[in-house]
Amino acid sequence: MSSEDIFDCILRLEETHIQQGFDEGYEAGLVSGREDARHLGLKLGFETGELLGFYKGCSSLWNSPALLVHLSPQLHKHLHDFQSLLDKFPLLDPEDETKDEIKDDLRVKFNIICASLGVPKKQLEMLRKEMLACCKVYISEARNKTALEAIEGAAKPFPPAAIVNKFEDAAYGRVGYTLVSTLAQGNSPLKNAVFAMVKTALDTINLELHSGSHPRLGVVDHICFHPLYETSIEQVSAVATSLAMDIGSILRVPTYLYGAAKEEHCTLDSIRRKLGYFKANREGHEWAGGLDLEVVPVKPDAGPQEVSKAKGVVAVGACGWVSNYNVPVMSNDLKAVRRMARKVSERGGGLASVQTMALVHGEGVIEVACNLLNPSQVGGDEVQGLIERLGREEGLHVGKGYYTDYTADQIAQKYKEC
């Protein structure tokens, strides 16, 4: 074979590889593009449905006989036109090009009616936007990035629910997700998103392979719902209870309710104590492997009493906003830091509505991990000051503490911006 033939073969081979790479990249781009488009379509579709539902609710109120008798003929016409626009909106035909024009006309009519009635438009829209709920999901994993990516991806198909914060801690072997959503009638996007995350976590993480210096009950250690703005604790409790029933019955994991989601209003720490949550099983300060239980000693609110060592159990609750504030103490003296932690907690005679644990957090550091059950009354500054004083008494250096999440108002604001 001549040198020219060899050169031609090399060129053809290169062209073949280029074409093959292009074809594979094109196909991968189509798949990725379809998935992104699907998520965007779901998000925009929900936003449109939510807006139309809001407009229909306003129209129904404004057209009530008790109100109509007091309105002028001109306002009657505006109300009639507004309802007609709602009726002709192509809800079942998203490709109808008139939908954007109708939405603009609805917005204009809505503003005219609000002005005529003397009702601040912002006040009505605030009622729609302030029905928010938050859910914090704690997963017993921080090193398996593939599993965490799958868990996060599982929440995407359920707009307007969205993950607004993620806190990973490799030493603890734990990650916390904060989700927020508007509350919808009937089907709950927030519940569906959290359930999808729980299912994915159980499918991708094996508790028997887990280790970390933070206690845990299961792959999904803890789920808590919090009301935001004008949402009531009863509303989020209903979502929490429904989620717990599904986890127990569908995923077959023992599930416990606590707080406002439980009729007896039992606390999370009381459930944990009954299940041996606070007892480390390796070297006195680390938790490794599945729960050392075949049957849970306390009947769960949902699911079987039999425990899978690979999955563990789940606690689901509802309560007011809780802040987590961790303070590092530069020491290896676990007994001394435990004494400090106890004196900080309400249980140990310290600060009201504060729960604490002393947990090893890497080489030469032990954290006083605090749950602030009423952060508006007792916050991080007060906790920090007390721990620093106790540290001086023990002869230990105390570092600056940190929150693992934002405040309730900050979380709501981040949700509006995402």
Beta strand 220-229 pairing with 131-139: antiparallel
Tokens standing for residue 48:
């449109």
Q: Which residue has the tokens 């939405």?
A: 103
Contact by Cβ (8 Å): 308, 314:
no
Q: At what angle do helices 73-88 and 3-62 cross, to 10 degrees?
A: 150
For residue 348, count CB atoms less than 10 angstroms from its CB and return exposed for 0-12, middle for 13-18, buried for 19 or more: middle
Q: Where are the alpha helices (DSSP H) in 155-292?
A: 189-204, 233-250, 268-274
State the first-to-last Cα distance of the chain, in angstroms, to the nearest integer: 63
**CB proximity list for 290: less than 8 A, separation 6 or greater:** 207, 208, 307, 308, 309, 310, 312
The whole-angstrom separation of Cα 416 and Cα 306 is 42
SS3 164: strand
214 is an active site residue? yes
Catalytic residue among 210, 214, 226, 361: 214
How far are the Cα atoms of 41, 355, 381 from residue 351, in angstroms, in the given order? 49, 9, 12
Contact by Cβ (8 Å): 285, 333:
no
The whole-angstrom separation of Cα 217 and Cα 264 is 21
Contact by Cβ (8 Å): 272, 280:
no
Q: Which residue has the tokens 């074809």?
A: 23
Active site residues: 214
